[in-house]
Amino acid sequence: MSSETLIIQAGLSERPRKSRWPARLDVLQSLSGLFLALFMWGHMFFVASILLGKDAMWTITKFFEGYYFFDKSHHWLVSLVVAFVAAVFIVHAAMAVRKFPINFRQLSVYRAHAKSMRHGDTTLWIWQVYTGFAMFFMASAHLYQMMVWPQNIGPYGSSDRMWSDGLWPFYLVLLLAVELHGGIGLYRLAVKWCWPNAPRQFLKKLKWGITAFFLILGFATLGAYMKIGYEHRLEYGTPYVPTWMQQNAAQNAVQHAVEEGVK
């Protein structure tokens, strides 16, 4: 009797094959996480343009609004980009929550297990769970605000949100959560997909170096917005007018006055 016959008689040939969907969902989680991490790096440099001056931040803001392509700002362009990022964020969260502890008992068991093991990567993963849980609520609120009110993005609008609206503590916590979560996520992606045989200590030093850089940049940026918001508190809600527009307006006013004087 052949081995194939024995397998058929034992009913082993009727056993369902293992599904490939968990692996596919894992790849989707990794790709969406990579996109969001790279987007956040770009986003951080964008908002940090305020450190170069209000004109620099205004210029970049208007670029994303299509000002230099259509000769006017279209805020809905920003809303479209934010909506796409929000969709990727939701997909990533749905994929990641599959691996979260589903109740307090599981979380307690996992924490006890991690404490007994004293394994660095395991500890990083649980911190990723904590920061991911915080981001689920905080990042969702931020994305909704940017999608619905894109016209409030700018040197004064963003600064007013930090100081006059009192949201700087919210963004401080969000900054910590995003940078910790994203840094740990990129480290785990590198270990899992890119450099599985690379020295872990080197990757961890690189990860903490990148995290420290973006945290310092974020703190400086937040401080700049708070300072501008404080100085602008008495003119809350007034949009920023770049220097060159102010100069042109002043020249036009002088020219108009001269023409009126000649008449």
Whether 150 and 75 have beta carbons less than 8 Å apart is answered as yes
| pTM of structure | 0.84
| Count: domains in the chain | 1
The pair phi, psi for residue 240, each rounded to 5°, is -80, 140
Contacts of 183 (CB under 8 A, 6+ apart): 207, 208, 210, 211, 214
Q: What is the DSSP letter of 94?
A: H
pLDDT category of residue 8 using cuts at 50, 70 and 90: very low
Domain assignment present for residue 13? The answer is: no
- State whether residue 240 is helix, strand or coil: coil
Look over the chain and give the mean of its residue pLDDT values, rounded to a whole number: 86
173-199: average pLDDT: 89
Domain assignment present for residue 254? The answer is: no
Contacts of 127 (CB under 8 A, 6+ apart): 180, 184
Rounded distance between C-alpha atoms, residue 137 and residue 90, angstroms: 11
Domain assignment present for residue 250? The answer is: no
Predicted local confidence at residue 6, as pLDDT = 45
Task: Give residue-wise pLDDT tens across range 124-158.
Answer: 888 998 999 999 999 999 999 999 999 999 999 99
**Domain residue limits at 117:** 23-242
Write out the two tokens for 189: 């992606």
Whether 114 and 106 have beta carbons less than 8 Å apart is answered as no
pLDDT category of residue 7 using cuts at 50, 70 and 90: very low
75-100: average pLDDT: 93
pLDDT higher than 60, residue 64: yes
CATH number at residue 76: 1.20.1300.10
pLDDT higher than 70, residue 255: no
Task: Give residue-wise pLDDT tens across range 158-172.
Answer: 999 999 999 999 999
pLDDT higher than 70, residue 256: no
| Nearest CA-CA partner of 154 in 39, 56, 70, 38 | 56
Domain assignment present for residue 39? The answer is: yes
Domain assignment present for residue 65? The answer is: yes
Domain assignment present for residue 253? The answer is: no
In a 13 Å sphere around the CA of 161, the CA atoms on its Cβ side amount to 17
Domain assignment present for residue 251? The answer is: no
Predicted local confidence at residue 113, as pLDDT = 75
Domain assignment present for residue 166? The answer is: yes
Whether 60 and 242 have beta carbons less than 8 Å apart is answered as no
- Name the residue type at position 256: H
